[in-house]
Chain A
Amino acid sequence: MGAKPMKVVTGVVGNDIHVVANRLIDLSLQARGYEVFNLGVNTHLAEFFDAAVETGAEVLMISSLNGEAEGWGREVKLLKAKYKGLDELIMMIGGNLVVGSGNTEDIIARYKKYGFDLVCHQTDLNTGLDLLEEFIQKRSAS
């Protein structure tokens, strides 16, 4: 990565206090050279976009463990449209994205429709972060 690190806003969406993965995402992102703005657990969707604007972040990485992201997902596009300058923001979501169980391909398709570029359902943390790096490289190449 270049001299100026990419900025990532991350946090756990909704009424979700599962903090362990959040801390590990923070550590791993830093180790890969990103500048991390970690909003922690129990974060509302609007707070993510506020932080992305405030920090000028290139990546928004939302995580969810209790599966309630499903309920928030539908509002993503609507809410994001109210902000200016977020068109280039890379939108990523990961964790356990449904309550109960579901078909991973269907889940990924659904979340892409909600406006996410990268969707990681029950994916290993480092695999997810590799996906992000590939995505960034592809985008800067095109």
Chain B
Amino acid sequence: MSLLQEEREVILSNEYVDQFDFDEVTEFVRSASKELFISHHFKNKQKMLVQPRGGFPTYKQQYALYEFFVDADVDVLPLTVDSNTRLNDYGTAQKMLRLSEENDKDMLNGYPLVTHGYRTTRKMITHFDKPVSLRHGTPDARLLIETAIASGIFEIEGGPITYLLPYSKNFPLDKAFLYWKYVEKVCANYSELNEPINRESFGPLTATLVPPSITCVIQLLEMLLSLEEGVTSFSVSFAQQGSMLQDIVTGKVLKKLAAKYAADFNCEEATINLVYHQWMGAFPTNQNFAEQLINLSTVIASMVGADKIITKTREEATGIPTKEANAKTVADTQYCLRILNGLPEVSDEQEEEILTLEVMSIMEAVFNDPADTLWRKVFNCIKSGVIDVPFSPHIINQNKMITIRDAQKNIRILERGNVPISDRCYEFERAQCDLSKDTTGIVNDIIHDIGIMQW
């Protein structure tokens, strides 16, 4: 028996798992409907796929949510997991699920997938026969993704960096890399049976003034960490940044460099998709304004040429959205996409060149780290601040980089910290900023720049 299989048996011999039947699950994946695989849809798509967010505690609620989504002409269903399950606290998830079922009051902020188990969940997924994307935020997702794939969920979001730096203060980053290595291997192995399992990275990170260079570098590194374990279908992603031009430039550079680095790693056969998140920062409380923002995001996603868009709702500012609000966004987004025709080609050579150079010099610094494996190189570079994520709460993050918006609302690097962008790029970035301000002025600008959509 392989080491991986031994580890899988340990992970799945858990008091919260009802007898995991490896052979049966393998057979299920082998003969599963192609419709369940988002990779199949990416291959054959005529339009941008639309995917909302959403997860409720009980089976009945999740089923009802999916019915609403299907009525609204959804392309990809979400399964968002509750926070106890994300932190591997299956005992609490179980207790809270029972309370939710008995009292008709939601005690969980998502669907406790491990608690429901794959036998139950699979009934729902195969009934709707649509691709489902797993949305979570789990540093140790080993049991979760085994349960997901066994349920018929063939897209797994996340990664060791993007699911850790925005969410955790002190979960050890080195452990996260190893736990995600397991996820990649399991996804790669299942991918050989039918259509590939798609892996997707979480580009929005902290959704707070993250410069496109850092977003791109982390997307590319998580892609490479996944491809090197044998994954053959991967989505890089980013969220609306606040400037249409910067989004278009980011999309172009990310696509171009994803293809380049995949080829450098001898993985040019892999399919790389681009995913765009509607605005992930603070939303306006005025629900009509929120709908305008959502609509604008859809237009920009089209300009960017995204393969999939992930939606928000008009209730974003107030809490977990109702299924009605959620389905409404799906219908509205589909409508907007239908009427968006004859989009102009927009480009900015200088911006593209600068961003490309920035990303490549950070990538080069990562590859030049003396460690023996890619994940260790990345680990060292996060520790030393070569990769620095603004507003990450994690203790390993350096927080030396300071970013701010220019007059066009592009995110610019005001202080590069230890991030090794060239002097030429750094001067270009700073030349776009108002350098006359003292720290108090800068802090006030940052507060304003974070809240640009809250009018």
Contact = CB atoms under 8 A, between A and B. Distances in A.
Interface of A: 17, 19-20, 23-24, 27-28, 30-31, 40-42, 125-126
Given A19-B393, A40-B169, A24 B440 contact: no
Given A27-B443, A42-B170, A125-B443, 17 more contacts: A17-B167, A17-B169, A17-B393, A19-B392, A19-B393, A20-B208, A20-B450, A23-B391, A24-B443, A24-B447, A27-B439, A27-B442, A28-B443, A31-B438, A40-B169, A40-B393, A41-B393
B210 to A, nearest CB: 12
Q: Which 10 A-B pairs have the closest CB atoms?
A: A31-B439, A19-B393, A41-B393, A42-B169, A24-B443, A28-B443, A17-B393, A41-B169, A19-B391, A20-B391
B395 A40 contact: yes
A31 B440 contact: yes
B337 interface: no
Contacts of B439: 27-28, 30-31
A68 B208 CA distance: 24
A35 B301 CA distance: 44
B393 to A, nearest CB: 4
Interface in B401-451: 402, 438-440, 442-444, 446-447, 450
B169 A28 contact: no
Nearest to A17: B393
B88 interface: no
Contacts of A17: 167, 169, 393
16 contacts: A19-B393, A20-B208, A20-B450, A27-B402, A27-B442, A28-B443, A30-B439, A31-B439, A40-B169, A40-B393, A40-B395, A41-B169, A42-B170, A126-B440, A126-B443, A126-B444
B399 interface: yes
Interface string B377-406: 000000000000001110100010010000
| Chief secondary structure at chain A's binding surface | helix
Contacts of A126: 440, 443-444
Given A20-B450, A31-B438, A42 B443 contact: no
A24 B445 CA distance: 11
Nearest to A125: B443
A12 to B, nearest CB: 9
A42 B169 CA distance: 7
Contacts of B438: 31
Contacts of A40: 169, 393, 395
B90 to A, nearest CB: 19
B173 to A, nearest CB: 15
Interface string B179-210: 00000000000000000000000000010100
Nearest to B447: A24
Nearest to B209: A20
Contacts of A125: 443, 447
Contacts of B393: 17, 19, 40-42
A27 B443 CA distance: 8
B440 A28 contact: yes
Interface string B116-154: 000000000000000000000000000000000000000
A23 B389 CA distance: 12
Contacts of A28: 439-440, 443
A94 to B, nearest CB: 15
Contact of B446 (A24, A41, A42): A24
A110 to B, nearest CB: 27
Nearest to B446: A24
Contacts of B447: 24, 125
Contacts of A20: 208, 391, 450
A29 to B, nearest CB: 10
A17 to B, nearest CB: 5
A125 B439 CA distance: 13
A45 to B, nearest CB: 16
B78 to A, nearest CB: 22
Interface string B82-96: 000000000000000
Nearest to A28: B443
A126 B393 CA distance: 22
A41 B443 CA distance: 19
A28 B4 CA distance: 49
Contacts of B395: 40
